[in-house]
Structure 1
Amino acid sequence: MEVELSTLFLLLVVAFTAGTVDAIAGGGGLLTVPALMASGMTPAQALATNKLQASFGSLSATVFFWRRGLLSLKPMLLTLLCTFVGSALGTLLVQRVDTSMMQWLLPLMLIAISIYFMVSPRMSDVDGERRMSSRAFAFCIGAGCGFYDGFFGPGVGSFYALGFISLAGMGLRRATAHTKLLNFTSNVASLVFFTLGGQVVWMVGLVMAVGQFAGGRVGAKLVFTKGAALVKPLLITLSLTLSAKLLWDLW
């Protein structure tokens, strides 16, 4: 697939913006997937190439958070494994079934999550009480959200964050850091199987990866310095925006 230089530059700018937003509250795919499809890609190519470039943004944010001491990798190993397997299974399944049901269900789920984020007293940078064991969390949130990310994807950052806050007892800053780690894991798993299917447009994806990597670092730094004061309103706004977009597309 041939892409003009001006189009590549625009995609690079979109990737930087999406990487910044995604590191803070998720939802970067709202910008990148439509941009990729507007460049002339098929839906499958757009989804696959989006996973490639998004992996660099989530990697950049994850490394930043890890270096700042917000991530503990060893306790997350089982969750990472479950997330990888779930995402791989979801990616394999989405190439064989119709996802139209998810287009109706997802907006309702995101609206419910937005309401929880608005009213919950747990939405702060202070850690709370853990309500689910690490093993149960790995199989329920890791595998479940990983499967959803591979199968459909929009809003998965909100689902990860909700799990870490409401079930793992994390404050919003730490929840965001761990969300990016799982985002990276599910992105890589999905990318592997999209690559095997020959759907990735590598030149475009790698150019956008540069923007994503830089944007991911900028967004992660904002989360580290601003915390819940920045993340909470963006999570709510992006969840509602994604809901409105999906409902508009259906209508």
Structure 2
Amino acid sequence: MDFEFIALALGLAAFFAGFVDAVVGGGGLIQIPALFAAFPQTAPASLFATNKVASIVGTTSAAVQYSRRVRIPWAVAGPGALAALVGSWYGAKAVAFLPPTLLRPLILVLLVGVAVYTFIKKDLGLHSREHVAPGRAALVAGAIGLTIGFYDGFFGPGTGSFFIFLLIHFLGMDFLRASVTAKILNVATNLAAIGYFSANVEVMWKLGLLMAACNLAGAMTGSRMALRHGTTFVRGMFLFVVSTLIAKLAYDLIVSGW
């Protein structure tokens, strides 16, 4: 297959991944399958590493865009990001020992639960109800960061959506504040994974940087739309992305004969 065509296709995938990721997370749903389709013979760890290089620029940009309009709750985001760094590092390390596909059935069940709960709770995340004491909120954020950080380093698709749902459910944030906080945590998970992968596996740096530029353009577009249309738009996108993730994981399980 012609490399120019591959680069164009992956660039377009990275743009749409950046757009989706900036709003509710889930960009890995687009970028990771695109990389696997383009390089089926390449080691999965190398493709996950390249995906992280492409993602971190867009995620950082989205965090900056949000921070100009939405106050970042650093008392929560700080401990959560530190824990996410640790979790993601060990998640990336685990890729060498366990196939990430083992997680598919569990993630599918969790995503179905998230979707059903969000559909039933019509007012979930539409209004801020942050009533958790600061000390406890930091501990909860740390637990969320550590758990989902490990998942992101190990597998990844839906990380932003899981961050957002858990921040809303356990800390009472609205979708917009949960989204900006999730971006901070996601930057940390990407940074840790890149640090581990770059020292231990081959990273396709040139391709990753090309995709990063496209991801950045998509992230800027997505974050501006989210800020313009508010929590209702973000909630709708959240449900769409989670539903698409469920369909994709279910299809993968059927095809693989799990």
- CA distance in 2 between counterparts of 1:129 and 1:135 reads 12
- CA distance in 1 between counterparts of 2:172 and 2:26 reads 23
**Aligned AA (2:91):** G
- Which whole-Å deviations, capped at 9, do the CAs of 1:144-201 have from their partners, x for residues lacking one? 1111111221211121011211111111111111111111110111111111113310
Contact 1:65 1:177 in 2 (8 A): yes
CA drift of 1:95 comes to 1.4
Is residue 248 of structure 1 aligned with residue 247 of structure 2? no
Which residue does the alignment assign to 2:92? 91
- Which whole-Å deviations, capped at 9, do the CAs of 1:80-137 have from their partners, x for residues lacking one? 1111011111111121123343111111100100112112244244211334722321
CA drift of 1:3 comes to 6.9
- CA distance in 2 between counterparts of 1:146 and 1:198 reads 19
Is residue 147 of structure 1 aligned with residue 150 of structure 2? yes
- CA distance in 1 between counterparts of 2:28 and 2:147 reads 19
Which residue does the alignment assign to 2:111? 110
Which residue does the alignment assign to 2:130? 129
- CA distance in 2 between counterparts of 1:26 and 1:142 reads 15
Cα RMSD after superposing both structures? 1.8
Q: TM-score, normalised by structure 2?
A: 0.90
**Aligned AA (1:91):** A
- CA distance in 2 between counterparts of 1:11 and 1:73 reads 34
Which residue does the alignment assign to 2:27? 28
- Structure 1 residues 72-221: aligned runs within 5 Å: 72-73=73-74, 75-131=76-132, 133-221=136-224
Which residue does the alignment assign to 1:236? 239
**Aligned AA (1:226):** H
**Aligned AA (2:236):** P
Q: Unaligned regions of 5+ residues in structure 1, if any?
A: none
Contact 2:56 2:191 in 1 (8 A): yes
**Aligned AA (1:182):** L
- CA distance in 1 between counterparts of 2:92 and 2:84 reads 12
Q: Unaligned regions of 5+ residues in structure 2, if any?
A: none
**Aligned AA (2:213):** V
**Aligned AA (2:68):** R
- CA distance in 1 between counterparts of 2:45 and 2:143 reads 28
**Aligned AA (1:113):** V
Does the C-alpha gap of structure 1 residues 16 and 204 become closer, same or farther in structure 2, counting only changes over 3 Å?
Answer: same
- CA distance in 2 between counterparts of 1:101 and 1:4 reads 31
Identity rate of aligned residues, in percent? 34
CA drift of 1:202 comes to 0.4
Bigger shift: 206-215 or 145-154? 145-154
CA drift of 1:57 comes to 1.0
Contact 2:87 2:147 in 1 (8 A): yes
Bigger shift: 124-133 or 15-24? 124-133
- CA distance in 1 between counterparts of 2:157 and 2:181 reads 18
Does the C-alpha gap of structure 1 residues 184 and 170 become closer, same or farther in structure 2, counting only changes over 3 Å?
Answer: same
- CA distance in 1 between counterparts of 2:237 and 2:70 reads 23
- CA distance in 2 between counterparts of 1:65 and 1:74 reads 17
Which residue does the alignment assign to 1:223? 226
Contact 1:3 1:39 in 2 (8 A): no
Q: TM-score, normalised by structure 1?
A: 0.93
Aligned residues: 250
Which residue does the alignment assign to 2:13? 14
Bigger shift: 85-94 or 126-135? 126-135
- CA distance in 2 between counterparts of 1:101 and 1:208 reads 27
